[in-house]
């Protein structure tokens, strides 16, 4: 079994300091409709999701770029546990790496949101140069 991990931290206040018009465009570019609905415009929730998306992109080894923000979707079960859903290039990359299982944890303090993503899978399906 192969393990992949990523971690990220975000200052919560950064999102509150953004011009409201820019904040709305940013939210619509970064988050899926389901994430927006679950976060209900709560800055703490949005920054936690942002950190989780960054952590997942790092575990995939891509960062954000080749994988787009909305290719990584973090939704919460009724228990509050965050769950990773991949779409588009993120799903393709995970399949190439043999990733089939994700675990993500999100935490907040007064100033920061932090997220850790761990993925597990079989032998990566990557052609070596």
Whether 58 is catalytic: yes
Whether 108 is catalytic: yes
CA contacts within 13 A on the Cβ side of 126: 13
Dist. CA 7–CA 63, nearest whole Å: 11
CA distances from 6 to 35, 41, 59, 63 (A): 20, 25, 4, 10
Catalytic residue among 58, 76, 87, 91: 58
73: which 2 tokens?
A: 């979707």
Catalytic residue among 24, 108, 112, 128: 108
Active site residues: 58, 108
């Amino acid at each position: 079994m192969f393990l992949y991990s990523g971690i990220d931290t975000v200052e919560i206040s950064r999102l509150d300091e953004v011009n409201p018009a820019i904040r709305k465009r940013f939210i619509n570019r970064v988050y899926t409709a389901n994430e927006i609905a679950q976060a209900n415009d709560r800055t703490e929730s949005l920054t936690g999701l942002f950190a989780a998306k960054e952590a997942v992109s790092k575990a995939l080894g891509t960062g954000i770029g080749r994988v787009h923000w909305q290719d990584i979707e973090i939704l919460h079960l009724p228990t509050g546990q965050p769950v990773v859903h991949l779409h588009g290039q993120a799903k393709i990359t995970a399949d190439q790496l043999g990733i089939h299982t994700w675990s993500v944890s999100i935490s907040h303090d007064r100033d920061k949101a932090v997220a850790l993503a761990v993925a597990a899978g079989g032998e990566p399906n990557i052609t070596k140069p």
